[in-house]
């Protein structure tokens, strides 16, 4: 297999692409391939990793011009043009248009997640992403004093909430959003989906106070519904739906 990997070092400020070629083991993931490079070919390669099981959200990166978790992406499936896995149709934005040429039938192109500054190689500075997360005040604000036992919740409410609590904050959506590409002040899909999660939590006040936290142009109103966020989410979270519903509620309230 051939891997073409983006390299960047802050000391020089220079970037380049390195080509690596080696035998892929059956079922090898992009993460495993990057570990193989670190272990055998170039130990200076930097990337984030932890669980290797698609739950911790560390290893989101741009793989063949699609933001994905490296641990969840199998090299062999990427190279199979008949697999719909390699055919995520995203609305175009600068990071996935043009750039380094590559042949998806022969090689895998691995680049850092777009829209966040690169620290080194595939490691990006998540500072802004988590700043937007903090901006939506991500903590349950119950509407009443805690009872002695749990607050009752309907299973249906839980099901609706799970669509959003499943988010692992990997920032794939942030790196896939054409609005984030052009407007660095836009809160982005993950923060807005998180905000919506608290809004619909039946334990909070049933008014629009939560939604008002992002009732401005770079909040709910920044979205252009390209829905790249939903397409790339490794947990099936639909920020676009949350944003749409939030807007309807805010309009009604005005």
Partner 1 sequence: MNDFQMHIHDAVIIGGGLTGLRAAVELINHGKDVALISKVHPLRSHSVAAQGGINASLGNHPEGGDDSAELHAFDTVKGSDYLADQDAVEVMAKEAPKAVIELEHMGTVFSRFENGKIAQRPFGGAGFPRTCFAADRTGHNLLHTLYEQSVAAGLTVYEEFFVTSLVTDNSKCVGCVALDIRTGELHGFSAKATLLATGGYGRIYARSTNAIINTGDGAALALRAGVPLEDMEFVQFHPTTLFGTNILMTEGARGEGGYLFNNEHRRFMEDYASKAMELAPRDIVARAIQTEVEAGRGFANEYVHLDLTHLGEEKINERLPGIRLIAMDFAGVDPIEKPIPVQPGQHYSMGGIASSADGSTPMPGLYAAGECACVSVHGANRLGGNSLLETVVFGKLSGRAIADRLEDIPDPDVKRVNQMLRIEDERIRKLLSRKKGERIADIRSELKNLMFANFGVFRDAGSMKEGLDMLTDLEARFRNIYVDSGDSVFNQALIYALELGFLADIAPVIAKGALAREESRGAHSRRDFPARDDERFLVHTMAYLRDGKLELEYAPVTLGKFEVKERRY
Residues forming the site for partner 1 (CB under 8 A):
9-11, 27, 38-40, 42-58, 72, 119-121, 123, 126, 134, 137-140, 142, 146, 148-155, 158-159, 161-162, 165-166, 168-169, 201, 203
Residues 165 and 188: their CA atoms lie apart, in Å, by 16
118 sits in which H/E element: strand 118-120
Residues 136 and 12: their CA atoms lie apart, in Å, by 36
Q: Which is nearer to partner 1, 27 or 94 (CB)?
A: 27
53 to 21, 22, 59, 168: CA distances (angstroms): 25, 23, 10, 12
We find the least distance from the C-beta atom of residue 215 to partner 1, in angstroms, to be 21
User: Which residue's entry shows tokens 């836009």?
Assistant: 186
Q: Which is nearer to partner 1, 166 or 208 (CB)?
A: 166
Residues 230 and 227: their CA atoms lie apart, in Å, by 6
143 to 194, 198, 208, 209: CA distances (angstroms): 18, 12, 13, 12
Q: Which is nearer to partner 1, 103 or 162 (CB)?
A: 162
Q: Which is nearer to partner 1, 97 or 156 (CB)?
A: 156
We find the least distance from the C-beta atom of residue 98 to partner 1, in angstroms, to be 28
Reduce the DSSP state of residue 54 to 3 states and report it. Answer: coil
We find the least distance from the C-beta atom of residue 121 to partner 1, in angstroms, to be 7
We find the least distance from the C-beta atom of residue 167 to partner 1, in angstroms, to be 8
Tokens of 142: 């119950």
We find the least distance from the C-beta atom of residue 252 to partner 1, in angstroms, to be 26
Q: Which is nearer to partner 1, 162 or 207 (CB)?
A: 162
User: Which residue's entry shows tokens 């299973």?
Assistant: 155
């Amino acid at each position: 297999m051939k891997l073409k990997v983006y390299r960047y070092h802050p000391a020089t400020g220079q970037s380049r692409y390195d080509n690596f070629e080696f035998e892929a083991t059956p079922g090898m993931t992009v993460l495993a391939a990057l570990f193989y490079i670190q272990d055998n070919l170039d130990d200076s390669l930097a990337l984030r990793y932890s669980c290797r099981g698609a739950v911790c959200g560390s290893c989101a990166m741009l793989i063949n011009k699609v933001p994905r978790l490296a641990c969840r992406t199998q090299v062999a499936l990427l190279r199979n043009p008949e697999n719909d896995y390699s055919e995520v149709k995203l609305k175009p934005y600068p990071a996935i248009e043009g750039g380094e040429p590559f042949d998806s039938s022969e090689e895998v192109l691995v680049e850092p997640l777009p829209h966040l500054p690169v620290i080194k190689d595939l490691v990006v500075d998540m500072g802004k992403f988590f700043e937007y997360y903090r901006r939506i005040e991500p903590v349950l604000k119950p509407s009443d004093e805690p009872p002695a036992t749990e607050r009752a919740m309907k299973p249906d409410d839980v099901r609706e909430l799970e669509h959003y609590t499943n988010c692992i904050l990997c920032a794939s959506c942030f790196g896939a959003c054409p609005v984030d590409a052009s407007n660095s002040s836009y809160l982005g899909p993950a923060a807005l989906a998180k905000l919506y999660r608290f809004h619909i939590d039946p334990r909070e006040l049933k008014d629009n106070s939560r939604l008002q936290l992002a009732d401005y142009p770079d909040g709910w109103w920044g979205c252009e519904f390209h829905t790249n966020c939903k397409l790339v989410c490794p947990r099936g979270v639909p920020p676009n739906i949350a944003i749409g519903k939030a807007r309807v509620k805010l309009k009604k309230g005005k």
